[in-house]
Amino acid sequence: MADIGICVGIKNRTDRLLQCLIKSMCLCTDKDQLTLSIYDCGSEDDVKSQIEKVWPGKLIFTSRQEKFTRSHSINAAVMQCPTPQVFLCDVDMTLPVDFVSQFLANVGPGKVWFPICFTLRKGKPKEVTVINGWWRDTGFGMAGLLRSDFLTVGGLDLKFIRWGGEDSDIHDRCKNAGFTVVRENCTGMFHNWHRRQDWE
């Protein structure tokens, strides 16, 4: 079965990458189908060696001294990733245990998955209640699609140099391209709380 590339851009967020995203990837059923593609924009620590200590699967890693923007770094992560399917992701995410099966059920030629994740409030456990957080139904940051479809719509627009806007933009371009857009709550997918200045 075709591999899925988890494509991530990063700068100085190694602890969050390890604690949130990679920790959950290690727990995924069929994790052997996941390839982690990291594009690092000059983090101060040795990101690659820390990832290799905890992630047993396939890893593609590039580090360059560049200004970080989400659009540029995720585009670069996709471009270096040879898998036919990609998932645009952030370091603060927890993926569900059945991520692979959910991805494969929702992604195909001309079919794009923009899962709605549950956003946790500060210090709250990973349980879906109104006290713990809310469904981020206005966010489009996580996206699964064929790599070829990502390239067809032109990837994330580099004009977005601040955080935000690039996700809804590619969502709209996928719709305008005539793709089927799957948009629904994703059980087990959490956005973990962080301070705003962590990613500015």
Residue by residue, DSSP assigns 107-144 as: -BTTEEE-PEEEEEPTT--S--STTTEEE-TT----EE
Please write the tens of the pLDDT for every residue from 58-92.
Answer: 999 999 999 999 999 999 999 999 999 999 999 99
Q: What is the pLDDT of residue 193?
A: 87
Q: What is the pLDDT of residue 161?
A: 75
Q: What is the pLDDT of residue 65?
A: 96
Q: What is the pLDDT of residue 165?
A: 80
Cα 71 to chain centroid distance, Å, stands at 12
| pLDDT < 50 stretches in the chain | 198-200
Q: What is the pLDDT of residue 2?
A: 72
Range of the domain at 76: 4-198
Burial class (CB in 10 A: 0-12, 13-18, 19+), 182: middle
Q: What's the pTM value of the predicted model, to 2 decimals?
A: 0.95
Q: What is the pLDDT of residue 195?
A: 64
**CATH code (residue 26):** 3.90.550.10
Total domains in the fold of the chain: 1
Q: What is the pLDDT of residue 198?
A: 45
Q: What is the pLDDT of residue 163?
A: 66
